[in-house]
Amino acid sequence: MTSAARGAGRFLAKPSFQTLLDAIAAEGYELVGPTIAEGAIVYDRIRRVQDLPAGWTDVQEAGQYRLKRRDDEMLFSYAVGPHSWKRFLYPASLTVYRAEQRDGTWHYTQTETPTPRYAFIGVRACELAAIAVQDRTLRDGLYADPHYVARREAALFVAVQCAEPAATCFCTSMNTGPACRGGYDLALTELPDGFVIEIGSDRGQQLVDSIDTEPLDAQRLDQARSISDDAAKKIKRRLDTEQLRERLLDNLEDSYWSDVAQRCLSCANCTLVCPTCFCVSLADVPDLRGQTVERHRTWDSCFNPDFSYMNGGLVRDDTRSRYRQWLTHKLATWHDQFGVSGCVGCGRCIAWCPVGIDLTQAAAAIGHQPASKDTQPSGD
Amino acid sequence: MTDPSHDPAVASEQGADAARGAARRWWLPRTVVIRRVHHDFPGVTTYAMQPLDADDWADYRAEAGQFNMLHLPGAGEAAISLSELPQLGDGFLWHTIRAAGNVTRGIAGLRVGDTLGVRGPFGSSWPLHACRQRDVLIVAGGIGLAPLRPAISLLLHERQRFGAMHLLYGARSPDSLLYASQFEQWEERGMAVHVTVDRSRPGWRGHVGVVPLLLERLRGFAPDNTVVFCCGPEVMMRYTIKAALGRGIPISRIWVSLERNMQCAVGLCGHCQLGPEFVCKDGPVFRYDRVARWLGIEAL
């Protein structure tokens, strides 16, 4: 299904876009959207249309991310930056519980913080797919992360159909984009003179009803459709997912793991920019007197050596084993654990790798080089 | 050979184990009071912990092989298996702990009356039902006997349901034997206890050598009708399993308890992964054929 296929689409003229933002804010949502900071398009609090990156796009390649001026004033004509919505739904730092000592006895309380009600503006199809992956990881299992669930349920999703995918994008291989196919309250397609609006939920409908929009004419509908179709054609990077899980797990001793480890800095950038990576660590933070202790949860990474610490040693004590853990988890064992790939094809790990290691290249290489057969598992 | 990790029977059996551990507020510790402290040998201590508020603990149900997360405020949490279950031990949670890291060294400094936090129970348990009408070999190395003790207690509690029972236990020295005062009672209740040590001392009349040797020489069990529960260092378990398979015990009747870095205890922090398994949630007790493939890969 291409964008704007819904019958009940509407059109919002460019000069009226602020009315949509205002209507969302009036519902009590905290607006978060793309904005320019430190040479990148990042997600932060926004209030006005002027906060958005009008006329900017991003140029990406393995190990490269550059902002580039466009010759128009389009607001959402970029791909994705280093941030994902993970930083709002699954914060990098969180207090889980508090222990207080009274009369020599420790007492435990859950730290109650009000759940923020975010409205995410400019969510891409690959990012909706990433949130669907996190739903499986953090919400739908036997044990759920209550903080994620609360934030996720409270959030409003305003998607914007991707028009300018980057060279690092491969969502078409992962079947996650570029067109949004659900999981949003509203999906916008940006045209030079305004937005085609698709409505994905009752909440979305109410918002659209509360502002002045125009009926959608056939010409604009066609325009919107061709934007998504063109975006799909622009995506050239490929990841061959056929038998990928089996090929990776059957080649855990492939010599390519050592090759890539020669280049990998084990810096953890890829896991931090990844919209689905969920690994965290927990640590105690006591007050000065040691009478109150907070248990803090922070993002961690399988690339950090201490991540696998056990009994005075490290299970994965070299870059080769850590890169292998990351790639096989993302592309292979994620299927066993959560029934989907852990990769949505957003390309962030490729662009933000300081040495330009390309996940699609690595995945293609494993099992296609001469491997030391004698160390292969005899399993299936 | 088909991949046993996709055997639905194995998966559902272990899933059910894990489901029983799914507590309502799994992330929040509850306070316990240390009621008894028993120094097993230098560096290893067994604690009896009592819930501070019995009502708050009414939903606590643990099975043999499961673990708790112990929280010592200021030091952090450590995953420690139950070395006796509350329903078998005066309502106390029993934990046998080696002082090794920040948390366990801190706990070693606690005394009777001190409090700490406990989350749990978590993880899968020893499949006692698989032992019915079968011979049972409990194979332990060092402090690996701790998570097996609740299984021993439960099996001996219904001794007549099972065939021959043997404990094969290896320790570093005669001075580092866990629960040695219970051996005689275990023998009386129908479990043969075979102990071996790495290093002997004058007066030691038992075996000297590694645990797998005991298994190679063991008499008085029918390998094709035997269940093995094994816990110890991974290298010890690897050679034990080799010996068990060599004796003709089917691979599908061997169960192991694994250890990894655990922080959340419910499969959400990512630390404990072994291939597709979360050792905290899918384990720590696994049927061996489910994890054999992954244990064979170094640094996985």
* Residue B21: pLDDT over 50: no
Residue of B nearest to A144 (CA): B268
Q: Are A128 and A191 in contact (CB under 8 A)?
A: no
Q: Binning pLDDT at 50, 70 and 90, where does residue A111 land?
A: confident
Residues of chain B with Cβ-Cβ distance to A307 below 8 Å are 261, 270-271
Q: How confident is the model at residue B90 (pLDDT cuts 50, 70, 90)?
A: confident
Of B2, B33, B270, the CB nearest to A278: B270
CB contact at 8 A, B280 and B79: yes
Residues of B in contact with A316 (CB under 8 A): 299-300
3-state secondary structure A258-318: HHHHHHCCCCCHHHHHCCCCCCEEEEEEECCCCCEEEEEEEECCCCCHHHHEECCEECCCC
Whether residues B91 and B198 fall in one domain:
no
Confidence of residue A2 (pLDDT cuts 50, 70, 90): very low
Domain count, chain B: 2
* A137·B74 Cβ contact <8 A: no
CA atoms within 13 A on the CB side of B103: 19
Domain assignment of residue B2, yes or no: no
Please indicate if any CB of chain B lies within 8 Å of the CB of A238.
no
- Indicate whether B9 belongs to any domain: no
Nearest-neighbour CA in chain A from B271: distance (Å) = 6
Is the confidence metric ipTM above 0.85 for this complex? yes
Instruction: In whole angstroms, give the CA distance from residue B140 to residue B175.
Output: 16
Choose one of B122, B151, B181: the last residue of a domain.
B122
CA distance B143 to B140: 8
Residue range of the domain that includes B261 = 128-295
Do B187 and B60 share a domain, yes or no?
Answer: no
Cβ contact A377–B273 (<8 Å): no
Q: What is the pLDDT confidence band of residue A377, given thresholds at 50, 70 and 90? A: very low
* Residue spans per domain, chain A: 9-234, 244-375
B6 within a domain of the structure (yes/no): no
- Which CATH number do you get for residue B62? 2.40.30.10
Residue B176 within a domain: yes
- The pLDDT assigned to A113 comes to 83
Per-residue pLDDT of B227-253, as tens digits, reads: 999 999 999 999 999 999 999 999 999
Q: Are residues B112 and B223 in the same domain?
A: no
Q: Are A208 and A197 in contact (CB under 8 A)?
A: yes
**Residue B89 sits in the same domain as residue B205:** no
CB contact (8 A) between residue A143 and residue B300: no
Residues B149 and B287 in one domain: yes
Q: Note whether B92 and B183 are same-domain residues.
A: no
CB contact A213 to B (< 8 Å): no
Closest chain B residue to the Cα of A304, Cα to Cα: B271
Last residue of a domain, one of B75, B96, B122: B122
**Among candidate residues B29, B28, B21, B4, the one with its CA nearest the CA of residue B124:** B21
Q: What is the CATH number of the domain that holds B182?
A: 3.40.50.80
> Which residues in chain B are contacts of A102 at CB distance < 8 A?
none
Instruction: Tell me the C-alpha distance between A184 and A251, whole Å.
Output: 39
Over residues A322-333, mean pLDDT:
98
Residues B180 and B267 in one domain: yes
Shared-domain flag, residues B170 and B264: yes
- Asked whether the beta carbons of residue B74 and residue A282 sit closer than 8 angstroms, the reply is no
Let me know whether B144 and B290 are in one domain: yes
CB atoms within 10 A of CB A114: 6
Does B237 lie in the same domain as B165?
yes
**Chain A environment of B80 (Cβ under 8 Å):** none
Mind listing the pLDDT tens digit for each residue in A138-158? 999 999 999 999 999 999 999
Residues of A in contact with B30 (CB under 8 A): 108
Q: Is the pLDDT of residue A179 over 80?
A: yes
Residues B285 and B181 in one domain: yes
Dihedral angle over CA of A298, B78, B143, B150, nearest 10: -120
